[in-house]
Amino acid sequence: MHIRQHTLKRSYIFEGKGLHTGRISRMAINPAPEGAGIRFCRTDKGGVIIEALADYVTSTARSTTIEKDGVAVITIEHLMSALYGLGVDNAFIEINGDEVPILDGSAKPYIDAISADGLMEQEALREYYNLDEEIHVTDAERGSEIIFYPAPETSFDVTVDYNSKVLGVQTAHWDPAIDYACEVGTCRTFVFFHEIAFLFSKNLIKGGDVDNAIVIVEHPVVQDELDRMAALFNMPRLVRNPDGYLNNVVLRYPNECARHKLLDLMGDLALVGRRVKARVVATRPGHGINTKAARILRDKILNDNK
């Protein structure tokens, strides 16, 4: 079965603050010609173009950053996941700041906008890479592993286990028979309560708030601590629910956190630049190991093409 490449039918504008910088950016996601792939353009930096490829990943500190000629775009993974999950092969993304807006912490805003119009089919066929051997990628320090098994179609299986009594062991799965837009793309980012002060100390999550992140309170805390966090986020009074989550959220799925890790994994592996036919099994994935795996696959593809 041959599948043609797809792009957008029109441009879409998004504006909002970045999760880590807290700065406002305006972003346009535009159609692009066949074979163009996904490219970012920093309109505030003289139009520097950065291809969305693993070659240009420079940081994976709580998000994925690509950089070229000293110009970076931060936190691209949710947008990349949306484009991958919806089947967009070619898009030109103009942004007037350094970080993609976090919006609601998931890919849902992109999905809602693009799905309303559908995609434009192009003449060229979509390129796939048929994996011919198992590939194991590990991060012993974090207890993370990603294994790629040769398969006739792409699928993902994710397991997350942080020794958390709140989360427990969660799993998530995607294959082409599953509606990415509903089952994966709507799932929001999450953070543990005890990580928040550390992340602020590292100048991260400046744009975080309880509208765009699930906050997990692993252990009971005094209300004063919750009040201090509410002040950090400039939010009203927060309390810990009996299930261990802050009272700001209603989970979209019981395993929403695992599904979000799946969302991130799909977005990061889109940086291979070609869809890989493989069964992907990931344990405790994160941006570091995800993009490491993307580079390994990309190098393998380039070497095979020599």
Q: Report the catalytic residues.
A: 287
Could you tell me how many helices (H) and strands (E) the chain has, helices first?
Answer: 7, 18
> In the sheet where 24-31 sits, what is the strand order?
12-17, 24-31, 91-95, 38-42, 48-51
3-state percent helix, strand, coil for the chain, nearest multiple of 5: 25, 35, 40
Bridge partner residues of 39 (DSSP): 51, 92
Strand partners of residue 27: 14, 95
* SS3 letters across 22-44: CCEEEEEEEECCCCCCEEEEEHH
Report the distance separating Cα 194 and Cα 188, nearest Å.
19
- For helices 77-86 and 108-117, angle between their N-to-C axes, nearest 10 degrees: 30
CA dihedral 166, 171, 176, 177 (to 10 degrees): -80
Amino acid of residue 219: H
20, two tokens: 């880590």
Contact 204, 20 (CB under 8 A): yes
Strands 12-17 and 57-59: unpaired
